[in-house]
């Protein structure tokens, strides 16, 4: 297979893995962020926890797979990201520790104070990664302050606090509102009684918040954020609003932000109409649209350099060898259908709503 074609295929595959992570583990994180607020009694909080309790571990596989694929397909991107986002990635890792511990330890004691503390731990384990992932995308859109020396050793000129700039924090809020919308749609689908009713109301507000914040981020990209363009001689041009030019090249690319906005509004509408399945499908499409918008706007850049734009990492100069990409593509062709099959089977087996009477009858539940 042609080397350039392989590079584009792997750009699309890694994007698909990130979308898969956002769609599956995203509603887990959304439910975790809503846990202390949407449930008012211990039984209701156990309903929320058990809606995701059977699948959350499997959903995190998408993130692990995306990380492994990035390491193999884009080793320079992987190394540079850990240099620039080291503290942020450690923060995500430590926050994620709260999730398995919270799920397992919450039910060990019947003390309400004990369980309430672990509910907030699950909230932190969900909210912090959602915020940091959004902040990371915001910094990628602005450019990351790294450069390479003559021996291709990376130097990072920024700090962790520099990552928390206004535009990046706005992108973090987009991520949080988007996953709260997705999580509330999932809770409306899987929970029952008052929890499902409250989730529907949250979905309406979160859907509108996602649209407002997403559009505001787009306005900032057009007005204040320098985009990057790869020139034919290999140099990089930077200019305000340049990221938006990709959307004028193809109707398919231009449909991504429309999908993000339209599907979020549709999810809010269907949630208000208590059409829970359609509301969840719409929230999933909105999440995919938002992520596709970020990826399509930056194409072919993967990690632009703010310190030295010509050192920016793109899918053309940051990928592994042709043989490596071919072997990995063969592995994907063999194993991805297996993963999709058993994931679909697991969700089919565990399909159904979590009810209060189930919680009160079965003490083995979380």
In sequence order, the β-bridge partners of residue 332 are none
Average pLDDT of span 208-219: 96
Judge residue 349's burial from the number of C-beta atoms within 10 Å of its C-beta, 0-12 exposed, 13-18 middle, 19 or more buried.
exposed
pLDDT at position 120: 95
Determine what percent of the chain is predicted with pLDDT higher than 90. Answer: 66
Tell me the domain boundaries of the chain.
Answer: 3-361
Q: What is the CA radius of gyration of the chain?
A: 21
Quote the CA–CA distance of 278 and 50 in Å, as a whole number.
22
The band of 364, judged by pLDDT with boundaries at 50, 70 and 90, is low
365 pLDDT band, cuts 50/70/90, is low
pLDDT at 229: 92
Looking at residue 277, what is its pLDDT? 94
Phi/psi region, residue 329 (left: phi>0; alpha: psi -120 to 50; beta: rest), is: alpha
Hey, is 6 helix, strand or coil? helix
Over pLDDT 70: what percentage of the chain?
99
- Tens of pLDDT, residues 138-177: 999 999 999 988 777 888 888 888 899 999 999 999 999 9
Helix/strand/coil for 100: helix
225-237: average pLDDT: 90
How does pLDDT run across 40-69, given as a tens digit for each residue? Answer: 888 899 999 999 988 888 888 888 888 889
Q: Is 229 helix (H, G, I), strand (E, B) or coil?
A: strand
Which residue has tokens 């398995």? 100
- In this structure, of 124-133, 231-240, 320-329, the range with the lowest mean pLDDT score is 231-240
> And the tokens for 363?
């003490």
Asked whether the predicted pLDDT for residue 73 surpasses 70, the reply is yes
Give the pLDDT band of residue 359 (cuts 50, 70, 90): confident
Q: Which two tokens mark 238? A: 């930077």
Position 19 scores a pLDDT of 94
Instruction: Output the six-digit token pair for 237.
Output: 């041009």
Helix (H) or strand (E) holding 22: helix 3-38
Q: Tell me the DSSP string of 131-171.
A: HHHHHHHHHHHH-B-EEE-TT--EEE---TGGG--HHHHHH
Residue partners of 347: CB distance under 8 A and separation at least 6: 55
Within 13 Å and on the Cβ side, how many CA atoms surround 245? Answer: 14
Q: Which CA distances in Å does 188 have to 146, 272, 278, 356? A: 44, 11, 11, 14
CA pair distance 336, 58, nearest whole angstrom? 14
Token pair for residue 91? 């923060």
pLDDT at 199 over 90: yes
Closest CA to 297 of 234, 250, 235, 263: 250
At 202, is the pLDDT very low, low, confident or very high (cuts 50, 70, 90)? Answer: very high
Q: Which residues contact 70 (CB under 8 A, 6 or more apart)?
A: 14, 77, 78, 81
pLDDT tens sequence across 86-115 = 899 899 999 999 999 998 898 888 888 999
Start-to-end C-alpha separation, the chain: 49
Could you give the count of Cα atoms lying within 13 Å of 342 in the half-sphere of its Cβ?
Answer: 8
How far apart CA 159 and CA 166 sit, in angstroms, is: 15
Distance CA 74, CA 321 (A): 10
**pLDDT score of 198 more than 90:** yes
35 pLDDT tier (thresholds 50, 70, 90): very high
- For residue 295, the Cα-to-chain-centroid distance in whole angstroms is 12
Give the model's pLDDT for residue 362: 66
pLDDT tens-place string over residues 332-342: 999 888 888 98
Q: At what angle do helices 42-53 and 3-38 cross, to 10 degrees?
A: 170
Q: What is the mean pLDDT of the chain?
A: 91
**Count of beta carbons in the 10 Å neighbourhood of residue 152:** 9
List the one residue out of 5, 171, 149, 172 whose CA is nearest residue 80.
149
Distance CA 321, CA 308 (A): 25
Which whole number is the average pLDDT over 207-214?
97
Helix 112-142 and helix 3-38, axial crossing angle in degrees, nearest 10: 150
Q: Check whether 278 has a pLDDT greater than 80.
A: yes
């Amino acid at each position: 297979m042609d080397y350039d074609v392989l590079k584009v295929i792997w750009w699309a595959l890694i994007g698909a893995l990130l979308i898969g992570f956002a769609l599956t583990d995203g509603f887990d994180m959304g439910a975790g962020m809503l846990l202390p607020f949407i449930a008012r009694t211990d039984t209701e909080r156990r309903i929320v926890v058990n809606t995701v309790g059977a699948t959350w571990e499997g959903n995190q596989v998408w993130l692990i797979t995306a990380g492994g694929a990035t390491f193999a397909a884009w080793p320079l991107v992987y190394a540079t990201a850990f240099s620039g986002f080291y503290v942020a990635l450690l923060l995500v890792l430590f926050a994620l520790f709260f999730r398995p511990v919270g799920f397992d330890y919450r039910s060990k004691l019947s003390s309400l104070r004990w369980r309430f503390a672990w509910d907030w731990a699950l909230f932190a384990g969900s909210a912090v990664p959602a915020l940091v992932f959004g902040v990371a995308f915001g910094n990628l859109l602005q450019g990351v302050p790294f450069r390479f020396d003559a021996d291709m050793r990376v130097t990072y000129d920024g700090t962790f606090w520099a990552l928390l700039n206004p535009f990046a924090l706005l992108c973090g809020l987009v991520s949080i509102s988007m996953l709260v919308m997705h999580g509330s749609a999932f809770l409306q689908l899987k929970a029952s009684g008052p929890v499902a009713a409250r989730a529907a109301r949250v979905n309406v507000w979160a859907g509108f918040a996602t649209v407002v914040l997403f559009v505001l981020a787009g306005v900032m990209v057009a007005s204040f954020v320098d985009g990057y363009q790869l020139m034919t001689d290999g140099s990089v041009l930077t200019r305000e609003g340049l990221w938006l030019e990709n959307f004028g090249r193809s109707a398919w690319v231009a449909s991504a932000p429309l999908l993000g906005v339209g599907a979020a509004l549709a999810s809010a509408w269907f949630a208000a109409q208590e059409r829970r399945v359609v509301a969840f499908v719409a929230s999933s499409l909105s999440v995919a649209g938002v992520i596709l918008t970020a990826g399509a706007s930056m194409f072919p850049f993967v990690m632009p350099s703010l310190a030295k734009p010509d050192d920016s990492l793109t899918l053309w100069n940051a990928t592994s060898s042709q043989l490596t990409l071919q072997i990995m593509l063969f592995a994907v062709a063999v194993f991805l259908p297996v993963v999709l099959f058993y994931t679909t089977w697991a969700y089919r087996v565990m399909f159904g709503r979590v009810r209060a009477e189930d919680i009160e009858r079965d003490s083995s539940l979380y």
